[in-house]
């Protein structure tokens, strides 16, 4: 009846439970139950399974649930030599020291973009999304990079599924995409936030596939368009080097 069930419900529910910890470190069973919209007893059983394997743990003091250290361990296994967020950190810091601006790393995850690592600007002014934050794909330099260099099929899907805010010129965005692909980098000025600008370049793996977007961001008065275009080769080179470091 339904569209093919090639997936396991109980597992998806358990994963949803883990995902619902975004924003909160500690949650009580009933809080979780209401977040994922399941009955207490079901959540309890799923949590027991997660806890048994170390994916969630309970705060001994408050008895609340929190994510477990097994996730930490696994995330270190994402890349051959360890957590990419750690591997690339030194390079990111070098770039930060060179440019003085905030350096961020974004990956595409499903239909969203998430910020997975960042080193802060040495300047006082720094207003950026926290690590782990999810963002829509239609604004910002890193978005353009992630969409422009995505696999064709995924790109289609991304463009189709985006709920474009009224008044946003989708045609212009597509144009920018091809420009990004051609130039090898993207810029944005006051797209997401007034007064903020960013340059981004793709990090590609051995096979030329997109892994992440490396972005330099700062206030628009420091990061003018000319400035950013001048920095672009430097950033692209850093991104290239990072790609080789991932394996």
Partner DNA sequence: TAACTGGGTTTCATATAGTGAAACATCATA
Partner DNA sequence: TATGATGTTTCACTATATGAAACCCAGTTA
Which residues form the interface with a second copy (CB under 8 A)?
6-8, 10-12, 14-16, 18-19, 21-23, 25, 44-46, 48-50, 52-55, 60-61, 66-80, 82-86, 89, 107, 109-110, 114, 116-117, 130-132, 151, 154, 207, 209, 247
Residue 173 CB, nearest approach to a second copy (Å): 23
**Count, residues near DNA per rule CB under 7 A:** 23
How far apart CA 151 and CA 238 sit, in angstroms, is 22
**Sign, Cα dihedral of 55, 59, 62, 63:** positive
- Classified as helix, coil or strand, 179 is helix
Residue 4 CB, nearest approach to a second copy (Å): 10
Residue 38 CB, nearest approach to DNA (Å): 5
Q: Which does 77 bind (CB under 5 to 8 A by kind): a second copy, DNA, none?
A: a second copy
Per CB under 7 A, does 28 bind DNA? Answer: yes
How far apart CA 223 and CA 236 sit, in angstroms, is 16
Per CB under 7 A, does 61 bind DNA? Answer: no
Show the tokens assigned to 9.
């419900």
Per CB under 7 A, does 41 bind DNA? Answer: yes
Of the CA atoms within 13 Å of residue 150, those in its CB half-sphere come to: 23
Per CB under 7 A, does 151 bind DNA? Answer: no
How far apart CA 35 and CA 42 sit, in angstroms, is 13
Residue (30 or 156) nearer to DNA, CB: 30
Stretch that binds DNA, among 62-70, 152-160, 175-183, 204-212 (CB under 7 A): 62-70
Per CB under 7 A, does 126 bind DNA? Answer: no
Total residue length of the chain: 247
With CA atoms as reference, report the closest residue to 43 among 56, 62, 57, 30: 30
Residue (67 or 148) nearer to a second copy, CB: 67
How far apart CA 228 and CA 217 sit, in angstroms, is 10
Q: Which does 73 bind (CB under 5 to 8 A by kind): DNA, a second copy, none?
A: a second copy
Strands (E), 55-177: 56-58, 65-67, 102-109, 112-119, 134-135
């Amino acid at each position: 009846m339904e569209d093919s069930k090639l997936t396991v419900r109980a597992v998806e529910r358990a994963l949803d439970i883990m995902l619902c910890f975004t924003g909160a470190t500690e949650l009580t069973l009933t809080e979780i139950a209401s977040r994922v919209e399941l009955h207490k007893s079901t959540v309890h059983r799923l949590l027991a399974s997660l806890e048994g394997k170390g994916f969630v743990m309970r705060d001994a003091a408050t008895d609340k649930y929190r994510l477990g250290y097994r996730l930490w361990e696994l995330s270190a296994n994402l890349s051959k030599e360890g957590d990419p967020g750690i591997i690339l950190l030194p390079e990111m810091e070098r770039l930060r020291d060179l440019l003085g601006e905030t350096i961020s790393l974004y990956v595409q995850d499903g239909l969203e973009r998430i910020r997975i690592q960042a080193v802060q600007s040495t300047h006082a002014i720094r207003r950026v999304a926290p690590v782990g934050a999810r963002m829509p794909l239609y604004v910002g330099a890193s978005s353009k990079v992630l969409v422009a260099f995505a696999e064709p099929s995924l790109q289609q899907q991304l463009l189709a599924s985006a709920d474009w805010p009224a008044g946003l010129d989708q045609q212009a965005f597509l144009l920018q995409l091809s420009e990004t692909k051609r130039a090898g980098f993207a810029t944005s000025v006051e797209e997401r936030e007034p007064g903020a600008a960013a340059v981004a370049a793709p990090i590609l793996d051995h096979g030329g596939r997109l892994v992440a977007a490396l972005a330099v961001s700062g206030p628009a008065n420091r990061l003018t368009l000319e400035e950013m275009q001048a920095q672009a080769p430097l950033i692209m080179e850093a991104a290239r080097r990072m790609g080789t470091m991932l394996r």
